[in-house]
Chains A and B, each alone.
Chain A
């Protein structure tokens, strides 16, 4: 019997995780965070207090039973931990790496009130990686349901919906416009943060569930959403096309050569592997001094990619201060370690032309924080007369994205005033049987939220088709009141 843990009895310090040396890693695309080893994960599991009212669960968008899986790790029952996590989260190896934990599960962890919070994400990743290494899949008994489901977009939202519908026995096809599946996980987030092998493994699991992927298929243009239902014989459709359309700043000079969106930079580098140019055909010319505008995850990725591609100096320009910056704390920390220069409270006003249509520099203005705005963050205001110039020959915008217009252009689906798809509480759109979720509904958000939306839409879809939800009916950890770890009933208790 474990003694009741208290905040005083648990290991006071978070178990550190091994990371590649900043000096070495800026020269390659290997993953920076090496992940916990088995003893490290077990040690960290001792820091969880198994709260009777676990706050962490409420902080996770898909309500993983966090203390239950941590307990399994402590018991060295890693497969059991995997089963607990995958009852709600299909992509533990991905989410453990990319969730903004400090704003979600770890942000509300009780231990965090006095000490550093329990490293939930790192433990989750440990379990996810182990599952990939050992090829664990929770293949349920699938009863064919004779329904055909079409999924548009292969990002986390589409993947999650596909998995749930396949588990419900449906014949699922995922359509992806690119030549490779994965959405932002593939083209956006670079290898040093989320290796493509992890994405491949997750997609392979879906294929084992019977999901088919049809790449190079631009839905809307090759066939419309309406045609999927009326002519192609899909009984229900899920749209998870993401929010790709990048914003430009709209300042003088933003169409100069050498100005590009972070999406273009990252797509060239990650999806098209332009970092290996000229071994591959897609080029990615890089400036000597790159300035990235913005400070979200996308901006951090762009900064660190440029550093790795060999830019001499990489600078981040952001109009608010470090406190308001929306990127994951770990990424900002890693970027700083890697020698990236930050100009907080700075806004670009003009990109300077070298006279031949390329970038020669950027004029900026200093900002100060005023009253809080609608988002609750303090509004940045320009400081008069504080303009100055930064030397640069390449500018990357990472200032957010808008709704992709293709589905709106080609279907009668109802959009809201920003061009995102409108849905009801079950995530059904204005066309019966057509559901939507992820960034195309909410605007740019997080991987786990997109995944949660995909699963929610799958629930709505099952209700619409009259399928019974085959997921755990009882509390995830017990079945008929019997602990799930006891499901092989003939085991003799120690």
Chain B
């Protein structure tokens, strides 16, 4: 595995798994276990390279597992287990003009979709949202495949000041013939994006990230409400029609293990006597 850090909390792992690199398609994800006692966590395949036999993951350190991986996953180490690719690949569709929206960490998983659309001959408009200038990553990668790129920052430190929805509105104003929008990011962002396009009736696909255990359709933990139906995101998704998704339900369900997550993270940082300083994990002062 190789690794690159994009910010204090965001890091990229490139994992050698030739078979999976051949099978992976845009929109799919993997389940990673970093060690034997670890949790199975789902992570989107942000990129794959069949020739080099690698899978790229972009991870945000938010809790016990992702913080611990930030510390232990170094170049040359290996993971205890990685299963996948999971989920139904996204269907690039036949739209001639597409807006690809990535919010925060969602920037990474939207990349392979944008690239596939470009390869299919579509006109691709990228809209990427970050909290501030320092968190921006993969701008060059996107410039290479997008016909237009709009960067938004919450504080205006780079690009357009505002949320991705402002970027979407701007793009929709300039291009009346957009056939489809693909939005990936935190649930609030996907909800807002779906609202922004609903009035104009532009089809919007989102990639849902409920809490998962197995990723094989066996536990039902990842169930989401799509219209009147209950679907399992890991085998029926993760891509769904954003106009049908019940985002409020998703957000409530994501809070399910809040307390336990806090316990695990605190305990971990205590036992490790580590904390984050300037993007590095350092021992706590005695």
For the complex, is A285 an interface residue (Cβ under 8 Å from B)?
yes
Given contacts A268-B213, A282-B39, A405-B217, contact A255 B253 (CB under 8 A): yes
For the complex, is A230 an interface residue (Cβ under 8 Å from B)?
no
Chain A, Cβ-Cβ closest to B263: A278
Chain A, Cβ-Cβ closest to B23: A222
Task: Give min CB distance, B213 to chain A, whole Å.
Answer: 6
- CB proximity to B under 8 Å, residues A250-305: 250, 254-255, 257, 260-261, 263-264, 267-268, 272-273, 277-283, 285
Docked-complex contact A221 and B85, CB < 8 angstroms: yes
CA distance A84 to B267 in the complex (A): 53
Q: Is the interface of B mostly helix, strand, loop or mixed?
A: mixed
Task: Give min CB distance, B21 to chain A, whole Å.
Answer: 11
**Set A218, A264, A283: member contacting B260, Cβ < 8 A:** A283
Docked-complex contact A179 and B19, CB < 8 angstroms: no
Task: Give min CB distance, A156 to chain B, whole Å.
Answer: 16
Q: Which residues of A contact B236 (CB under 8 A)?
A: 405
For the complex, is A22 an interface residue (Cβ under 8 Å from B)?
no
Chain B, Cβ-Cβ closest to A176: B83
For the complex, is B278 an interface residue (Cβ under 8 Å from A)?
no
CA distance A261 to B221 in the complex (A): 7
Task: Give min CB distance, A387 to chain B, whole Å.
Answer: 24
Chain A, Cβ-Cβ closest to B35: A281
- CB proximity to B under 8 Å, residues A8-40: none
CA distance A257 to B255 in the complex (A): 8
**Set B37, B40, B261: member contacting A283, Cβ < 8 A:** B261
Given contacts A255-B230, A282-B40, contact A218 B217 (CB under 8 A): no
Contact with B along A229-257 (1 / 0, CB 8 A): 00000000000000011101010001101
Given contacts A177-B83, A273-B37, contact A257 B256 (CB under 8 A): yes
Q: Which residues of A contact B232 (CB under 8 A)?
A: 245
CA distance A250 to B28 in the complex (A): 28
Docked-complex contact A216 and B83, CB < 8 angstroms: yes
Docked-complex contact A257 and B252, CB < 8 angstroms: yes
Q: How many A-B residue pairs have CB under 8 A?
A: 127
- CB proximity to A under 8 Å, residues B118-175: none
**Set B33, B217, B220: member contacting A406, Cβ < 8 A:** B217
Q: Which residues of A contact B86 (CB under 8 A)?
A: 218, 221
Task: Give min CB distance, A1 to chain B, whole Å.
Answer: 55
Q: Which residues of B contact A285 (CB under 8 A)?
A: 256-257, 259-260
Docked-complex contact A278 and B217, CB < 8 angstroms: no
Task: Give min CB distance, A186 to chain B, whole Å.
Answer: 12
Chain B, Cβ-Cβ closest to A264: B219
Docked-complex contact A257 and B253, CB < 8 angstroms: yes
Given contacts A281-B38, A281-B264, contact A263 B249 (CB under 8 A): no
Given contacts A272-B39, A277-B264, contact A216 B216 (CB under 8 A): no
CA distance A405 to B259 in the complex (A): 33
Docked-complex contact A272 and B83, CB < 8 angstroms: no
Given contacts A245-B218, A281-B37, A281-B264, contact A264 B213 (CB under 8 A): yes
CA distance A281 to B36 in the complex (A): 10
Interface size class of A (residues with CB under 8 A): 35 or more
**Set A218, A263, A277, A357: member contacting B220, Cβ < 8 A:** A263
- CB proximity to A under 8 Å, residues B232-246: 232, 235-236
Docked-complex contact A409 and B19, CB < 8 angstroms: no
CA distance A216 to B39 in the complex (A): 14
For the complex, is A217 an interface residue (Cβ under 8 Å from B)?
yes
Q: Which residues of A contact B264 (CB under 8 A)?
A: 277-278, 281, 283
Q: Which residues of B contact A178 (CB under 8 A)?
A: 83, 214, 216
Given contacts A248-B220, A263-B219, A281-B65, contact A222 B39 (CB under 8 A): no
Docked-complex contact B235 and A405, CB < 8 angstroms: yes
- CB proximity to B under 8 Å, residues A342-374: 356-357
For the complex, is A196 an interface residue (Cβ under 8 Å from B)?
no
Q: Which residues of B contact A484 (CB under 8 A)?
A: none
For the complex, is B81 an interface residue (Cβ under 8 Å from A)?
yes
Chain B, Cβ-Cβ closest to A273: B37
Docked-complex contact B81 and A215, CB < 8 angstroms: yes
**Set A215, A267, A279: member contacting B37, Cβ < 8 A:** A279
For the complex, is A404 an interface residue (Cβ under 8 Å from B)?
yes
Docked-complex contact B88 and A222, CB < 8 angstroms: no
Contact with A along B1-43 (1 / 0, CB 8 A): 0000000000000000001100100001000010001111000
A-B CB proximity, top 9 nearest: A283-B260, A244-B218, A357-B252, A264-B219, A281-B39, A261-B220, A216-B83, A280-B37, A179-B81
**Which residues of chain B have a CB within 8 Å of any CB of chain A?**
19-20, 23, 28, 33, 37-40, 64-65, 80-88, 213-221, 223, 225, 230, 232, 235-236, 249, 252-253, 255-257, 259-261, 263-264, 267
20 extra interface residue pairs, beta carbon distance < 8 Å, beyond A254-B230, A280-B37: A216-B81, A221-B28, A222-B19, A222-B84, A246-B219, A248-B230, A257-B253, A263-B218, A263-B219, A267-B214, A278-B267, A280-B39, A282-B213, A283-B261, A356-B252, A357-B255, A404-B218, A404-B235, A405-B235, A406-B235
